[in-house]
Structure formats: C-alpha cells, structure tokens
Amino acid sequence: MNKVLTQAEWIERAKAVLPAGGFGNFDASYFVREGKGSRVWDEDGKEYVDLLIGSGPMMLGHGHPEVVEAVLEQVPKGMTFFANNHSGVELAEEICRAVACAEKVRYVSTGSEADMYAMRLARAFTGRDKILKFEGGYHGMGPEAQMSLAPTRLVNFPQAVPDSAGIPEGVRADMLIAPYNDPDYLESLCAEHGKDIAAIIIEPLQRIVPAQPGFLQAVRDICDKHGIVLIFDEVVTGFRFGYGGAQERYGVTPDLATLGKVIGGGFALAAIAGKADIMACFEKGSDKWLMQVGTLSGNPVAAVAGLKTMEILRREGAYEKISDNGKRLMAMASKALDARGVPHVVAGAPEMFEVIFTDRDITNYRDVVAADAKKLAAYNTVLRDKGLFKSDGKTYISLALTEEDMDIAKAAYEAAAEAVAN
C-alpha cells in the first residue's frame, strides 16, 4: 500500500521538480486532493467551500453527475481524434445560437490561444498591425496580452509596458494601451492611430472592474468609425453573465469573441467565435489565410462536457440562483466590513467579485492598484483559514453553493473583517 503523504510532503516533492514548486497558477502551498459539489479538500483533509472553482470553469460545481455520465459515455468511444466529431459540431451550433456575434466558431484548447488567434485574425482580416488593449486587461499569456497587464510602473498612455521577460521589443511597437472606462481618450487615440489599428480587445468586465454605462457602446461606435475589429474577451464572462454572456447582458455585439472555461465543462476547450467574413480567414484558399491547428482542439470529451454543462445552465432558475448566491455573498462581505468601519468597495458582478480596500470608486486598473493590497492579502488569508477557497483577486460563484456554505461564508467574512479592522 502506498504511503499517504501530507500536504507538507507534497510541497517538498513539488519543489524538486517544478519551478517555484507550482504550476504557475494558484498559491503553491495549497494542494487540492479532490472536489465534490461546492467543496474541495486539501491533501491533509481540510475541507473548503470552493469560491475558486478551477478559476471559473466549474460553474456547476465539481463532479456534477450528469456531466460525469456524459464524459464516461464518451471516453470508451475515443478521447481525441484530430478530426471532426459530431459533438464538437453540436457544441459549435449551440454557441452560434447563444452568442450574438457567433456566425462561425473555431476551437482551440485554452483561452490564451483563443485571444492570441483572435488578435492575429483581426490583423489578417484588416491588413493592419496595431492592437489596442486596456491597461490591466487580462487576455492570456501571448506576447500582446502580456503588455500592461499588471504594470508596476505606471507610464503615460498609450505606451505599453511588458509584464514578462522574453518578449521582443518589436511587440511593444505594435501595442497601444488605453485606460478602461475613458471613451474620450479612446476616441482621441483612435483618431490619431485608427488607420493602423487592427483590433481593440476588451473584457466587458475587466477582471473585477465593471464597464460604466455607455462605455462598451462607445467602444463599438469607435471601432465602426475607424474600421477596427472589436474583440470581446468573454473567456470569463461567456455563459456566465447569462446564457448569451456579456453581449446579452450589455446589449453590445462585437465582431469577434473569445470563449473558454464554461464551454469545456471542466476540460480543456476554448474558441474564437465571430462574423463569417472575418472567420473566413481560417479557410485555406483565402488570400488572407491564417493557419491554425491544435492537437486537442474540439476534442469530443470536452465537447460533451461542455454541451451537458450548457444544457444544465439553460434550465429554469439556474442563472437566477447563481446571481442570488453572488449577491448574498457580496452583501455578507460588505455588511461585516461596514459594521467595523472599514472603507471598502465590493467590485465586480454577482457572478465574480472582489473586496477592494479603498475609499474611492473603482473605474480602472489604477484605481485597483491604488487600494490597500496588504489589507486585501491579510483579508484573503483569513478567509482561506476559515474555510473559503479563493484566489487573491476574485471570488467565483457556482450553482452548487448550499445554505450550509452560506453559513460558513458568513462566519469567515466576519472573522476576516475583524482581522483587518484591528
């Protein structure tokens, strides 16, 4: 019988074979042994209410029996083929029914790939080179995306700041950076550079910063005026902000959207979806052909998991419950801090939010970084100690949360508020 290792022992083993002892995602001092429904357990058996949900994909919770059944039915038939499969076609059909901009779909395996290819697609379609993104916007791990994602040095717009080593200087020259929620600056920037800009890529809710009323429509209008492709990065918001995603919620339709997380039902799957004339650049024979292949793109296991997940989300009351779960947790957090006189903003949306320790409105990245990061870190440490498994920057909500989970969360928020108040 194999010896059962403690979490501390696994941490030491990881350090020997993984840079910084981790996968580069979550805090490497946490190992998750298993998940079920709304809960996860670490290697020492400590139980948590899961508000990380795999960084977003597990909207139904872990091990949903209908998703598991669909996957186990598919696995004996084959896990991947590098060829078309009917489940992938059915999933694409459902995406096109649900997402306003989606006339055609191309699969990849990760949101990072989807964003990278969407930007390349806009360049192919327009014949232009520059990409405009918003400071603090997260669009994966590609070189363009790693410009001014989380700059510690705040420079004048539209200068781009690389957030990673290993990015050629030439990438910076083709990137323009704008502040989120500032349509006047965006218009002035596009008036100067519009003929060179292939795409504006934007999160409809930037991490936890909501778009102010009218901002997304202003971006759409500016793109139309200057012939710029508008890309909504809906890897996070897609099928989370309602079945039609952020496009449905805000009533603004982009030219392209990137999707991920929910559409794979917990498996590796992402997609670019958009207007047929732009997506035609993926077709061999086009004079603007963009080569794209991926070993696991559209694999049937992920496709059936995504299809079943989306079927469950279509059921009556699913989105209302998710929203209600989020609103209750947001209110709990705010009430506990208000009672102790701690200045704060609960930023984001019911489906995903974070407490920011500040006394001013949150409208862009610089408002977030001006807040008290040390207090937030201390607050989140207490939340995890008290049984809430979450990241340092976002709280994700699932359909699986129970009344018992809400009681645990309330006690955790009270303890964390007390800690930061003192």
Distances (CA, A) of 406 to 19, 235, 246, 328: 36, 27, 27, 8
- Establish whether 50 is a catalytic residue: no
Q: Is 183 buried (19+), middle (13-18) or exposed (0-12) by CB count in 10 A?
A: middle
- Establish whether 308 is a catalytic residue: no
Query: Quick one: DSSP state of residue 37?
Result: B
- Establish whether 396 is a catalytic residue: no
Q: Out of 233, 255, 367, 405, which one is annotated catalytic?
A: 233
Question: Which residues partner with 105 through β-bridges?
Answer: 273
Query: Can you say how many angstroms the Cα of residue 153 is from the centroid of all Cα atoms in its chain?
Result: 24
Q: Which residues contact 125 (CB under 8 A, 6 or more apart)?
A: 198, 229, 277, 278, 281, 288
Q: Using the structure block, give the residue that is written with the tokens 């989807």.
A: 114
C-beta separation of 260 from 269 below 8 A: yes
Amino acid 404 reads E
Q: Out of 261, 375, 386, 394, which one is annotated catalytic?
A: 261
Q: Out of 138, 180, 396, 413, which one is annotated catalytic?
A: 138
User: For residue 134, which phi and psi values (nearest 5 degrees)?
Assistant: -105, 140
Q: Which residues are catalytic?
A: 138, 233, 261
